[in-house]
Amino acid sequence: MRSLHLLVAVLPAVALGCGGSGNAGPDADITTYDCAADTRAQTYVAGLEVKGESGKLDFKLMDADPAPPARGNNTWTLQIDAMSNNVVGSGVAGATMVATPFMPDHGHGTPIKVEITDQGGGMYQLTPVNLWMPGYWETTLTVTTSSAGADTAVYKFCLPD
């Protein structure tokens, strides 16, 4: 009987865990999110540049469809260039890449795998980048190249609805 009481006490908290209209924490309303109050997100512009964490690669989000990124399936066009001494060089073709959308406030990602197509010259298409609910998303790009080695970049967007 004691475990039944515990289950009854815990279930509502678990059920509410993936909402998120406010920035103070998750709640049951998953239809909106106050992005104006969230200062972590980047503002989307075509060509949004993020330097790789290890300084080996430069990442530019050349295009997003829809633009800015929105709830649901997105298609991103990404330019990846080699870097040396903080100077951006030429495009890196033939890279191995993994894109991982994740909601750190909720502790979950998306079940849909991002497919990545090398379009040549350091240009890559990522689809679908599935951002399935409103809130703050971080999409981590982990890239390995034969010439520059491995590097990681994170794009951070807030989806209001």
**Tokens read off for 54:** 């290890």
What is the C-alpha to C-alpha distance for residues 116 and 17, in angstroms, rounded to an integer?
31
Residue spans of the domains in the chain: they are 40-159
Q: Specify the fold of 40-159.
A: Immunoglobulin-like (2.60.40)
Task: State the pTM of this model.
Answer: 0.81
**Per-residue confidence (pLDDT) for residue 148, from 0 to 100:** 81
**Per-residue confidence (pLDDT) for residue 19, from 0 to 100:** 45
- Return all residues near 80 (Cβ < 8 A) that are at least 6 apart: 57, 58, 59, 60, 91, 92, 95, 97, 122, 124, 143, 145
Confidence of residue 30 (pLDDT cuts 50, 70, 90): low
pLDDT in tens, 85-137: 889 999 999 999 999 999 999 999 999 999 999 999 999 999 999 999 999 99
